[in-house]
Amino acid sequence: MLRYRLLQHTADIAIEVWGNSIDDLFKSSVEAWLDLSIEQKIFCANEKKQIKLSTTTLEELLKEFLSEINYMLHVKKWLTTSVDKISITEIENSFVLSATIVGEPIDFNKYQIQEEIKAVTFHQLKIEEKDNFFSTKIVFDI
């Protein structure tokens, strides 16, 4: 089940996304990005890629992670369909992400782009935690 909902926004796409841990929140954010970006809902890709990122805040890390996946789709034409493994650690005032993502080179006969996300913004991006439940708003510039 998808773990996000659309919020009211006239010009762009705003969502609220949630998860049971920080790692899980990052995963559900990718699922939301995929649901918005691609029309089809069933995927069976099996190629794997590694992503490593480091930033000074968790919000920057989430923005960078989604931006990377979005860049891979629109420039490298490689569609991420799920997150296999993800680990986020705090090391000396910085946050480090290491992830294995699953996907495939996009075949436009098989998949249609539903929404061209131009960019993932900092707009309203604030990761909040309550009783081990994590959530944030994300605004995509389209």
Residue numbers at the binding site for other proteins (CB under 8 A): 6, 8-11, 13, 60, 67, 71, 74-75, 112-116, 118-119, 121-123, 139, 141-142
With tokens 């590694």, the residue in question is 50
C-beta of 5 vs 85, nearer to other proteins: 5
Q: Which two tokens stand for residue 112?
A: 């249609």
Q: CB nearer to other proteins: give 24 or 60.
A: 60
Nearest of 59, 46, 60 to residue 103 by alpha carbon:
46
Torsion of Cα atoms, 109 then 75 then 30 then 49, to 10°: 90
* Smallest distance from other proteins to CB 142, Å: 6
Residue closer to other proteins, measured from CB, 21 or 97:
97
